Structure 1
């Protein structure tokens, strides 16, 4: 089975297995740290998925937390090798990105590269991997100076470019459903020229059937829409338990893997999706906005 596991799934499966086994054994993270002669922070990072674990460390850890079945041990050892290789090679694990991307962002990027489906809900701007480089730059520039340094802006803009390359290269095997508030289609982030380029790209992706996009119009009134922006990613569409949630809340962000929470967000997404504009009507709306922006830009170039 291990040879069929994707790197992101392998890392997630391993850390969840270790955490669950430790809890079943009644061991604390501090007890694991003392037994393995590690720091407590190392145990926390391993269970959070921020650190991988070497096979030589994994085997005694499995014994300590009660995993002794040979088949299970062999499976976890094989999965650990897949997970460890991926972490060493990933661009987002390089020091310059680790310094300027949050832990949740790095997890999200890893899951995007392996996901089978992504559901985006946004009320302010286009989803990150679907942003053109110019739009992404304008979006990052819209943050207050105290929020992001110039260096942070640079690496986050670069990370969006790299994420975009990965996501667009996987369209077809990766299914994308983007549910966007009408304000996203009307807010000319970056100015008319930049926004026109972004709308043309979204229109192309949707009209060519590469992604599915639906708009929530201003006159749609329902408390169910009172959600922060979130991305819901499925690592295996046949397994509801493989869904993870990336959510921006206030001035922070987080990855949530609790099945109750992901199921609730998916149900809310589906309800709004079914009540929103159809994909055809959304494409028509984008076409109208593109025409309006083209006319505006032409008038500015050739005022009467």
Structure 2
């Protein structure tokens, strides 16, 4: 068990081991619940990472799932104890945010606080943690038919809190952020010319101070990473997680095969797109056009 693991990382390691062991044993969650005399919802919440499992519950479950190696059992029990360590309540778990953010978004925020690296790809808009307040507000108003005013406000607040946390970690060297944007993202004037110009200046500032490394997928390149989804690929202490978003919903994915495909595709296209200097020059041109319209 790595020294300094957080409850987030330890809980993830336990729940993935349990899920993989259950699937390897060809058992359903309902069968596990029946054998352990638990509710089905408890099994689902443990495997989803919504709750931590106690060491006393974990030991008989490991036996049932066929995990009997003493070193493996000891490591997982130690992880379970770390996972249940009390932490100061995170802002995204407070009622006002829990009720207005999706489960996948809350998990993303939790993992962002632990990730050593984030690869972000967007085909629609500037990634959440890089958005200025005006840009975020303008973007959220596009969903006014789907979101209540309270949901909209909480999500705008969440964007800014995420931004503060992610950029603080990036600027201190705790996290490396790679950003790949479709050219359309750097042309789409969300919020109007003034707000979008401010957003582009903020991107340029983040590039200049080393908080992010950014490359653009130009229209001339016939090699999109994905056809219809934006995603964030986060590297944790062990393994990676994938947050994927479309215009209709979002999801957190931890399937190794799916993650590996996204990672391979991202890395391949990253080497084919416009480099950092070309991307920055494009941003500068867009700022000049917005500030001096003909």
TM superposition score normalised by structure 2 = 0.91
Aligned pairs for 1:129-208 (under 5 A) are: 129-143=129-143, 145-171=144-170, 172-208=173-209
Correspondence for 1:302: none
Shift of 1:284: 1.2
Distance 1:51 1:222, change over 3 A: same
Q: Does the 8 A contact of 2:217 with 2:224 survive in 1? A: no
* Higher helix residue share: 1
Distance 1:2 1:270, change over 3 A: closer
Deviations 1:254-275 (A, max 9, x none): 1112222112112221222212
Q: Does the 8 A contact of 2:30 with 2:40 survive in 1? A: yes
- What is the distance in 1 between the residues matched to 2:179 and 2:166? 13
Correspondence for 1:263: 260
Deviations 1:159-208 (A, max 9, x none): 11111111111112211111111111111111122212211110011122
Correspondence for 2:222: 221
Q: Does the 8 A contact of 1:52 with 1:87 survive in 2? A: no
Distance 1:224 1:99, change over 3 A: closer
Deviations 1:123-160 (A, max 9, x none): 111011111122111111122x3311111112211111
Shift of 1:280: 0.6
Q: How many pairs align?
A: 292
Aligned pairs for 1:4-19 (under 5 A) are: 4-19=4-19
- What is the distance in 2 between the residues matched to 1:181 and 1:25? 43
Distance 1:289 1:259, change over 3 A: same
Q: Does the 8 A contact of 1:2 with 1:75 survive in 2? A: no
State the Cα RMSD in Å: 2.1
- What is the distance in 2 between the residues matched to 1:54 and 1:72? 16
Shift of 1:229: 1.0
Correspondence for 1:40: 40
Moved over 4 A (4+): none
- What is the distance in 1 between the residues matched to 2:256 and 2:69? 27
Shift of 1:81: 2.7
- What is the distance in 1 between the residues matched to 2:138 and 2:153? 12
Distance 1:247 1:287, change over 3 A: same
Gaps of 5+ in 2: none
Shift of 1:225: 5.0
Deviations 1:40-88 (A, max 9, x none): 0110111111222233332333333333444333322221232233677
Shift of 1:11: 1.7
For structure 1, which segment, 279-288 or 15-24, has the greater mean C-alpha deviation from structure 2 after superposition?
15-24
Correspondence for 1:247: 244
Aligned pairs for 1:106-125 (under 5 A) are: 106-125=106-125
- What is the distance in 1 between the residues matched to 2:245 and 2:46? 23
Q: What SS does the corresponding residue of 2:197 show, helix, strand or coil? A: helix
TM superposition score normalised by structure 1 = 0.88
Q: Does the 8 A contact of 1:50 with 1:103 survive in 2? A: no
- What is the distance in 2 between the residues matched to 1:279 and 1:266? 20
Distance 1:136 1:276, change over 3 A: same
- What is the distance in 1 between the residues matched to 2:69 and 2:287? 61
